[in-house]
Amino acid sequence: MKYPCRLDKFLSKAAHISRSEAKKYIRNKRVNVNNYKNINAQLSIHTGDRVSLDGNELSLTTHQYFMLNKPLGYVSTEAEANHPSALSLIDSPRKIHAAGRLDIDTSGLLLLTSDGQWSHKVTSPNSNKFKHYRVTLAEAISDDELRKLEQGILLRGEDKPTTPAKTARLCQTEFILSISEGRYHQVKRMCAALGNKVIALHREKIGEVTLDQALKPGEYRELSETEIRCFT
Ligand code: URA
CA distance 168 to 171: 9
Confidence class for position 93, pLDDT limits 50, 70, 90: confident
CA distance 177 to 135: 7
CATH class of 130-206: alpha beta
CA distance 221 to 106: 19
Q: 209 CA to middle of ligand 1, Å?
A: 18
Asked if domains 5-57 and 71-126+211-232 share a fold, the reply is no
Q: Which residue among 175, 188, 199 is best mutated to probe the pocket of ligand 1, counting the most ligand atoms within 8 A of its Cβ?
A: 188
Is there an atom of ligand 1 within 6 Å of 188 CB? yes
Write out pLDDT tens, residues 106-118: 999 999 999 998 9
Is there an atom of ligand 1 within 6 Å of 201 CB? yes
Of 62 and 98, which is predicted with more confidence? 98
Whether the pLDDT of residue 17 is over 80: the answer is yes
Whether the pLDDT of residue 20 is over 90: the answer is yes
Q: What are phi and psi of 149, to 5 degrees?
A: -60, -40
Q: Give the pLDDT score at 127.
A: 84
Which of 3.30.1180.20, 3.30.930.10, 3.30.70.580, 3.10.310.10 would CATH assign to domain 71-126+211-232?
3.30.70.580
Is there an atom of ligand 1 within 6 Å of 131 CB? no
Whether the pLDDT of residue 1 is over 80: the answer is no
Is there an atom of ligand 1 within 6 Å of 190 CB? no
Mean pLDDT for the chain overall:
94
Q: 186 CA to middle of ligand 1, Å?
A: 6
Q: 102 CA to middle of ligand 1, Å?
A: 6
Fold of the domain built from segment(s) 5-57: 3.10.290
Whether the pLDDT of residue 25 is over 90: the answer is yes
Of 231, 143, 137, 227, residue with least CA distance to 190 = 137
Pinpoint the alpha helices (H) of the chain. 7-15, 19-27, 116-123, 143-151, 186-192, 225-229
Confidence class for position 70, pLDDT limits 50, 70, 90: very high
What are the sequence ranges of the domains in the chain? 5-57, 71-126+211-232, 130-206
